[in-house]
Structure formats: C-alpha cells, structure tokens
Amino acid sequence: MMQTDFTNRIRVQTNQLPKELTHAEIDETARSIALFYKSGEFICQTFFTPPLLGKINWVDGLDTSAQVYFREINFIVPNLLHLRLVGDEKDIREMCRNERLYDLLKGIQSTYTEEIRSRRYLDTTVGKQHWDLIVSLDKRNYWFANNVNYKGSKTRIDHVLIVGDRLLGLTESGEVIYTQLTPEVLEKEDLLLDVQPMEEVNKLGKVDLLEAVPNSDETFLVTIKNRVYQFTIWGDMVHFDMLDEKVERINSINFNNTRTIIATTDGIYELDVIEMPNMVKPTSLPRQIANPHLKTKFKTALYVEDPYILGVHPAMGVFAKTEDEKVVFF
C-alpha cells in the first residue's frame, strides 16, 4: 500500500464538547480521532489540517492523561449500544453517572446507517484496563460485561463481542466463553452471567484475539498466533488464513468493504475480501505493507474512509498505533 519513505508530522486540535450539542458538533464527535472523558468533561480531538495522503504522517498532540477513553461505540439494536472503554473502573462509573453521556451517545447513534454501525477511536493511555459496557439509552443505565460466573467463580473476560444474541469473551488463559445476552443485564449493573466454554474453538490452542465480522450476526473471528479463524456462534469453523511465520501475534483486525487490515508483532498486513451474508471470504493471500517506517510492532490499525476527515473524495487512509503508543496515519 505504501512505497514512499517520506514522513510528515501532523498535529491534532482539541475540542471540549458543550453541554448542548448541535448536529454539527455531534457529527464532528462521531468522526473524531479520539474521544475521552477528562475532569468531568467530554472531549474530542480531530486533525487541525488534513493529513498528506500517500505519505507517512506521525500524529502529534493526542491526549494521554484522560480518565476514560472510548475505543468503540457499537450498535446492537436501537437505543442499545456496546461501549469499549479504557480506564479505571471507578472513573468509568463516575462517567456513567453523568447524564450528558447518554445525550452524547444518542447523538452518535443518530449518525449510524445500514453501512455504519460502529465508531472507532484511538486511545493513547497505558497501564489501564479495557472494559466493555452494554448501555441502554432510553433507560439511561449500563452493565459491565467483563465479570462473569465461569465454573462457579467470578472471572474477568476481555475482547467481549456481541454476535446475534450471544456474548463472547476471552479469559486470561485464552479460553473463549459464551452465553446468551438477555434484558435482565440492564436491571442489575453488576449481574454475573453464567458462561460456558466454546470447546470447538478452545481445542485449537490459546486464543489471542476475538474480533467481529462486519454485518454478521452469526460469525466471528479468532486469532491464534499467526492464524485467523472464522467461526459461527454454534462453534462451526467456516474459514481460516495464515500470516507469515515471523508473526508471533495478531493484535487487531479491521475491515472496509473490500479489504482487511491486520496489526501484528511484525508490522501491518492487508488481505482482499468480499463481504457475503454472515461471513467474510478472503479473495487474496495476506500481504505485508512493505515500508521501513511500518516495520515495528503494532497494537491497532484502522481504516478511515471519511472525506470530512481527509479532505478528499474518495477518501482512503489508515490509522495505526505502535506498541509504544505512537500514532501514524498513512
């Protein structure tokens, strides 16, 4: 994807969100690079000027000191969202007591379409836990999904996914667990759901990552070392791919309509795909983006196809975050 060695530095601007949000402010927030909660205020960061497309742009000025960072805001059904957050639990609970949160989320939900059912943001903090919340906008309450009852004891799970009516997660030991998601979770914010292991997946080995398949309520992705598997919620494997042997771990997978971008311990890979009903089918072999500035360990890589952010149409770019929290756009 990138052949040039040219690098550029680009800064972001920081906007504190007012108490009363206009449509323009909601739109800017939905499309922002970073969204976070700091000292009782909701704040977003966007590019000050459009990045140079076709170049390596190192991004400067992203905040690293907020209490809570948004990673994803995912649509489940109208007025029900799945939030992926980073921060201390006490700070997240404080944020959830702020009534402005629900107005902000309702505004962001209004920007969703049949094609856009999720908003992703960069977090730049270190040393804080990841959390998953199910949030009801009409009831204005929430439920922490990371603590479950597994084999008779309270267990923490990460990489929580909502696929159809199933909640899936990953234990500290790399086991995939699942349960059915029901309305009762919104009646008690600390309810522990009973979960069970998905043995069809776990027999393959320790799982590193769970990731969603776009527009699917039946399938999800599992990564183990350099391998990517596609499973149904009933435990049936439908496909798998393998990256270069140099890849020790896959850290994130992101899609647009025609490609997949994969952040790994050995740089960034792409794969051509076709989106089919309830699955994604690869149409090429994985290929590494061969650029010397991208030959490092990456935590995250996200596609951006928004002309409002990039200043051109058609728009196409990638945000990526290294393991030492540096952010690059290309």
Residue 237 pLDDT exceeds 80:
yes
Q: Say if CB 161 and CB 198 are below 8 A apart.
A: no
pLDDT for the residue numbered 309: 79
310 band by pLDDT with thresholds 50, 70 and 90: confident
Residue 132 pLDDT exceeds 90:
yes
Residue 327 pLDDT exceeds 60:
yes
Query: Over pLDDT 70: what percentage of the chain?
Result: 98
242-300 per-position pLDDT tens digit: 999 999 999 999 999 899 999 999 999 999 999 888 889 999 999 999 888 899 999 99
pLDDT for the residue numbered 5: 59
Q: What is the mean pLDDT of residues 112-133?
A: 91
Q: Is the dihedral of CA 289, 322, 226, 284 positive or negative?
A: negative
**Phi, psi (deg, nearest 5) at residue 101:** -55, -45
Residue 136 pLDDT exceeds 80:
yes
Residues forming beta bridges with residue 154, ordered by sequence position: 149
Query: What are the domain boundaries of the chain?
Result: 167-176+183-290
- Any idea which of 39-53, 262-276, 300-314 has the lowest mean pLDDT? 300-314
264-267 contacts: CB < 8 A, separation 24 or more? 264/226, 264/297, 264/298, 265/297, 266/295, 266/297, 267/294, 267/295, 267/296, 267/298
Residue 1 pLDDT exceeds 50:
no
Q: Say if CB 297 and CB 307 are below 8 A apart.
A: no
Alpha-carbon distance values, 271 to 142, 145, 257 (Å) = 36, 31, 12
188-227 per-position pLDDT tens digit: 877 999 999 999 999 999 999 999 998 899 999 999 999 9
Q: Which amino acid is at 49?
A: T
Nearest to 224 by CA among 133, 237, 57: 237
**Phi, psi (deg, nearest 5) at residue 251:** -105, -25
Q: Whole-angstrom Cα distance, residue 65 to residue 42?
A: 13
Q: Say if CB 327 and CB 124 are below 8 A apart.
A: yes
- Region label for 267, one of left (φ > 0), alpha (ψ between -120 and 50) or beta (otherwise): left
**Phi, psi (deg, nearest 5) at residue 177:** -120, 165
pLDDT for the residue numbered 242: 94
Q: What is the mean pLDDT of residues 160-182?
A: 97
Q: Say if CB 146 and CB 191 are below 8 A apart.
A: no
Q: Is 53 helix (H, G, I), strand (E, B) or coil?
A: coil
Q: Whole-angstrom Cα distance, residue 330 to residue 320?
A: 8
pLDDT for the residue numbered 2: 47
73-94 per-position pLDDT tens digit: 999 999 999 999 999 999 999 9
Q: Is 307 helix (H, G, I), strand (E, B) or coil?
A: helix
Q: Which amino acid is at 316?
A: M
The shares of helix, strand and coil residues in the chain, as percent rounded to the nearest 5, are 10, 45, 40
11-27 per-position pLDDT tens digit: 999 999 999 999 999 99
Q: What is the mean pLDDT of residues 168-189?
A: 94
CA 191 to chain centre: 24
